């Protein structure tokens, strides 16, 4: 097909961002509707990509390739495999809900001499992030990927620092200071990771002579490109460090609780459900394909770091008194499971990790957005300021419970299947790691149920006695996410059918096979 479908899927939100930003300040409602319509049109294109993608066809499909910076071997190359197309669809699906949930988050508000930034800027930045994330999932040229991997930091910085959460226990001045701190910390951590990756990207070009992922991977596979062992390991570490910051993996995670805590709930979802997935996706696409031997060499250390992330994140979530920071630490724990699945080097583990990326995006969006609706009503992020909400807002409490149960991977909800596959795949090669990781599930049940108990049950506090239940717009946001959690929990086959062939190809890249059962099946 001659129509550049992948380019169009990324270009549409990019153009929409520019047009939305140009809407006059007096036309705030028009800017909102424009952003929403652009995001829905992008979702339609993503569905077309999904329909046209053949899981049993070529590894990379709907490819586009054009000369860009010929003197340095840089090309505009796009293509999607099963992993990329699943995450592209997730991104396009979540952005309309993020926009709807943040419908009033950037409305002008006078606070002394301070004024919130224009509404259209908020929605334009969200569309800009969507465009950059989508092209990151599509790029098969390493340099092209790097540009957008780094460029998405700019709109995210302004979304965190300029449109942060208005609810703060110490007032607006303290909130402004904390937002600025969180935005700068987010930017610095990710810039450092990006600069180290840039050195590795240059090193890769020196060794390989081009930036094409497919050409380099094929050359590695057929032996025409032979990297020295130390060179491959250093290049791997440069790439992996940047992806581990973005993921985020312990001990490079500390920017995430600050960023999610100070951002509005929709932007917090954008961070952890969309942007952070680029890090784990890139581990599969770039680390394992470009540096297979170094990936196997680093596996034991990475599994230890992933295991620490699982337990450490869950333990800190248990002790949180801020609702949004609790969800942030829970996400650190979940990303530990994803990375553990990737480097378990089994098809079950990597399929589970990819499915986990999709399911975590949906479950975290459901929980965090409902939490945002709750916080906007009370004006506080502190767990202690709530109590008895289920008696005055039963629908809000019910959706909050389902989002929480998905977070703890309750059987019947989507994350359970992916977490189970990750644990099975890890146990096959690393039984001790798999056994220890299961304690993360126990801790997840603890922090989720304690959060629900303290906020939703018990006597009704005076401050929440008049709290309204979910409105129509909020139900439109939450209901489809709940339906997806249940559907994919019962029937995950549509996603696994798409990602499994790509996972098998990745396993072939690192020359790994699934361990065979020690006991033969009965005949």
Instruction: Tell me the pLDDT tens digit for each residue of 73-111.
Output: 788 999 999 999 999 999 999 999 999 998 887 777 655
Distances (CA, A) of 28 to 98, 106, 124, 281: 17, 10, 12, 35
- Whether 80 contacts 248, CB under 8 Å: no
**Percent of the chain scored above 70 by pLDDT?**
94
CB 129 within 8 A of CB 155: yes
Record the tokens describing residue 199, joined without a space.
């050195």
Where does the pLDDT of residue 113 fall: very low under 50, low under 70, confident under 90, or very high at 90 and above?
Answer: very low
The answer to whether residues 369 and 97 touch, using CB atoms and an 8 Å cutoff, is yes
pLDDT (mean) for 318-330: 90
pLDDT at 508: 81
Residue linked to tokens 């910076």? 69
Q: Which span out of 142-146, 166-170, 459-463 was modeled with the highest average pLDDT?
A: 142-146
- Check: CB of residue 69 under 8 Å from CB of residue 339: no
Rounded Cα gap, residues 455 and 183, in angstroms: 28
Token pair recorded at residue 239: 């790439």
Each residue's pLDDT tens digit, 475-511? 999 999 999 999 999 999 999 999 999 888 888 877 7
pLDDT band at 465 (very low <50, low <70, confident <90, very high): confident
| Angle, in degrees to the nearest 10, between helices 172-208 and 142-151 | 170
Q: What angle do CA 266, 438, 294 make, to 5 degrees?
A: 80
| Res. 112 pLDDT band, cuts 50 70 90 | very low
Report residue 238's pLDDT band, with 50, 70 and 90 as the boundaries: very high
Give residue for tokens 């992996």.
240
pLDDT for the residue numbered 219: 82
Instruction: Identify the residue whose tokens are 């396993």.
Output: 507
Give one DSSP letter per residue of 380-427, joined into a string.
Answer: --BGGG---HHHH-HHHHHHHHHHHHHHTT-TTSHHHHHHHHHHHHHH
> How far apart, in whole angstroms, are the C-alpha atoms of residue 491 and residue 451?
28
The beta-strand segments (E) located in 24-169 are: 61-69, 74-80, 110-111, 114-115
Distance of CA 103 to the CA centre of its chain: 21
Q: Cα–Cα distance between 243 and 357 in angstroms, integer?
A: 14
Instruction: Assess whether the previous peptide bond of 265 is cis (omega < 30° from 0).
Output: no
- Return all residues near 461 (Cβ < 8 A) that are at least 6 apart: 385, 386, 387, 388
pLDDT of 407 over the 80 cut: yes
Higher pLDDT, 381 or 487: 487
Average pLDDT in the chain: 88
Is the pLDDT score of 302 beyond 50?
yes
Answer yes or no: are the C-beta atoms of 300 and 155 closer than 8 Å.
no
Question: Rounded distance, CA 74 to CA 60, Å?
Answer: 19
In angstroms, how far apart are the furthest CA atoms of the chain? Answer: 80
Separation of alpha carbons 331 and 364, rounded Å: 8
pLDDT score recorded for residue 353: 93
pLDDT digits 0-9 by tens, 258-269: 888 888 889 999
Do 119 and 36 form a contact (C-beta atoms < 8 A)?
no
DSSP string, 187-227: HHHHHHHHHHHHHHHHHHHHHHSS-BHHHHHHHHHHTSS--
pLDDT top residue among 512 and 247:
247
Q: What is the mean pLDDT of residues 167-171?
A: 55
In terms of average pLDDT, the best of 51-65, 174-188, 221-235 is: 51-65
């Amino acid at each position: 097909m001659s129509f550049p479908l992948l380019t169009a899927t990324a270009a549409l939100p990019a153009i929409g961002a520019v047009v939305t930003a140009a809407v006059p300040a007096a036309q705030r409602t028009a800017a909102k509707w424009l952003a929403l319509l652009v995001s829905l049109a992008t979702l339609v294109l993503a569905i077309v990509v999904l329909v046209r993608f053949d899981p049993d066809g070529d590894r990379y499909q709907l490819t586009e390739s054009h000369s860009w910076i010929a003197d340095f071997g840089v090309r505009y190359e796009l293509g999607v495999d099963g992993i990329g197309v699943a995450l592209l669809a997730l991104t396009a699906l979540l952005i309309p809900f993020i926009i709807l949930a943040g419908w009033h988050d950037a409305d002008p508000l006078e606070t002394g001499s301070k004024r919130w930034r224009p509404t259209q800027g908020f929605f334009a930045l969200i569309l800009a992030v969507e465009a950059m994330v989508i092209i990151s999932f599509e790029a098969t040229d390493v340099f092209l990927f790097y540009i957008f991997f780094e460029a998405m930091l700019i709109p995210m910085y302004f979304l965190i620092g300029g449109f942060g959460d208005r609810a703060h226990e110490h007032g607006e001045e303290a909130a402004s200071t904390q937002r600025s701190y969180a935005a700068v910390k987010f930017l610095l951590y990710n810039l450092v990771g990006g600069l180290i990756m840039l050195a590795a990207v240059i090193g890769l070009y020196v060794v390989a002579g081009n930036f094409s992922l497919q050409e380099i991977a094929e050359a590695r596979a057929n032996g025409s490109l032979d990297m020295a062992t130390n060179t491959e390991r250093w290049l791997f570490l440069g790439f992996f460090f940047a992806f581990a910051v973005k993921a985020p993996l312990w001990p490079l995670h500390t920017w995430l609780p600050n960023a999610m805590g100070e951002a509005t709930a929709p932007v917090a979802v954008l961070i952890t459900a969309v942007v952070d997935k680029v890090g784990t996706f890139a581990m599969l696409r770039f680390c394992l394909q470009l540096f297979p031997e170094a990936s196997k060499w680093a596996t034991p250390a990475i599994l230890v770091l992933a295991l620490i992330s699982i337990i450490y994140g869950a333990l800190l979530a248990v002790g949180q008194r801020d609702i949004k920071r609790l969800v942030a630490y829970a996400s650190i724990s979940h990303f530990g499971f994803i990375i553990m699945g990737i480097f378990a080097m089994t098809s079950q583990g990597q399929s589970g990790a990819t499915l986990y990326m999709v399911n975590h995006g949906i479950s975290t969006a459901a929980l965090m957005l409902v939490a945002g609706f709750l916080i906007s009503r009370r004006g506080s992020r502190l767990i202690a300021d709530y109590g008895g909400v289920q008696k005055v807002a039963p629908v809000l409490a019910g959706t909050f419970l389902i989002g929480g149960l998905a977070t703890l991977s309750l059987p019947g909800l989507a994350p359970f299947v992916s977490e189970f596959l990750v644990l099975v795949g890890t146990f096959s090669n690393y039984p001790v790691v798999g056994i220890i990781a299961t304690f993360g599930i126990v801790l997840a049940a603890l922090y989720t149920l304690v959060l629900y108990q303290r906020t939703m049950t018990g006597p009704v506090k005076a401050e929440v006695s008049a709290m309204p239940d979910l409105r129509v717009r909020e139900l439109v946001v939450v209901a489809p996410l709940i339906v997806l959690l249940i559907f994919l929990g019962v029937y995950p086959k549509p996603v696994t059918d798409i990602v499994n062939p790509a996972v098998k190809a990745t396993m072939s890249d690192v020359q790994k096979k699934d361990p065979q059962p020690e006991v033969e099946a009965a005949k």
